[in-house]
Amino acid sequence: MLAIYGPGGFGRELIPIGTQSGRECCFISDDKAQVGGVVYDIPVRSLESLRTSSGLDQITAVIAVADAKTRRKLADKLAEVGIAEGQAVAANAIVGPGVDLGGGAILCHFTTITASARIGRHFHANIYSYVAHDTDIGDFVTLAPRVCINGNTIVEDDVYIGTGAVLKQGTPDKPLRIGKGAIIGMGAVVTKDVAPGTVVIGNPARPLERN
């Protein structure tokens, strides 16, 4: 069984992936008002009910929450009750040769990881996103729809990359680097390294000025 932690909008988008090939699927929610209900015929269960059910070793989970800090906390909760990290990979997603795909990864429809890339834990690639060759992605990284990450790029942990953003290709001796916890704004074109914790916007991308 694949358990999807979070029955919100993104979680509902994962139903066709979670149930493909006849796989059994459920949602996990911490909201008592949701537990025991159904979302589009998918049952919503509590983490505790899964912990005490038989066949715990046959349940894996992904986390349908975009915020990296929240995703980390939920990953810790899953580990505490003994639920393993699963993967939700759409049938039409492309995972090329030499790709190391981490636990908890979600690859939505029409996504591509081309070749020789390392993808960390609990990665999200929303629809039509791609990661090109020789790219290193950290843990708890989120790609919104239509993100383009070109080759020889390093994306550190907890980075969020907004819809339609494009990351210029680096080189083997000088990869483009996106620092830990950085946020790349929607539609940004990133041509230079981004420092940890920085928010960048625009074309070319520049740090967001705050008044």
pLDDT of residue 106: 98
Contact at 8 Å (CB) between 208 and 187?
no
pLDDT of residue 211: 64
What is the four-CA torsion angle of 76, 78, 83, 85, rounded to 10 degrees?
-60
Mind listing the pLDDT tens digit for each residue in 170-203?
Answer: 999 999 999 999 999 999 999 999 999 999 999 9
Please name the amino acid found at residue 122.
Answer: H
The separation between CA 5 and the C-alpha centre of its own chain, rounded to angstroms, equals 12
Residues 24, 37: Cα–Cα separation, whole Å: 16
Residue 178 lies in a domain: yes
Among residues 86, 120, 145, the one where a domain terminates is 86
96 lies in the same domain as 68: no
81 lies in the same domain as 119: no
Question: If residue 15 lies in a helix (H) or strand (E), which one and from where to where?
Answer: helix 15-18
Among residues 86, 114, 149, the one where a domain terminates is 86
93 lies in the same domain as 82: no
Indicate which residue of 109, 122, 124, 133 is catalytic.
133
Residue 207 lies in a domain: no
Establish whether 133 is a catalytic residue: yes
162 lies in the same domain as 124: yes
Residue 183 lies in a domain: yes
Contacts of 22 (CB under 8 A, 6+ apart): none
pLDDT of residue 56: 83
pLDDT of residue 51: 85
73 lies in the same domain as 104: no
21 CB burial (10 A radius; 0-12, 13-18, 19+): exposed
Total number of domains constituting the chain: 2
Residue 148 lies in a domain: yes
Instruction: Print the domain residue range for 155.
Output: 87-202
Q: For residue 138, what is the domain's CATH number? A: 2.160.10.10
81 lies in the same domain as 100: no
* Low-confidence residues in the chain, pLDDT < 70: 211
Among residues 37, 58, 86, the one where a domain terminates is 86
pLDDT of residue 155: 98
57 lies in the same domain as 103: no
pLDDT of residue 210: 72
Residue 209 lies in a domain: no
99 lies in the same domain as 19: no
pTM of the full predicted structure? Answer: 0.95
75 lies in the same domain as 98: no
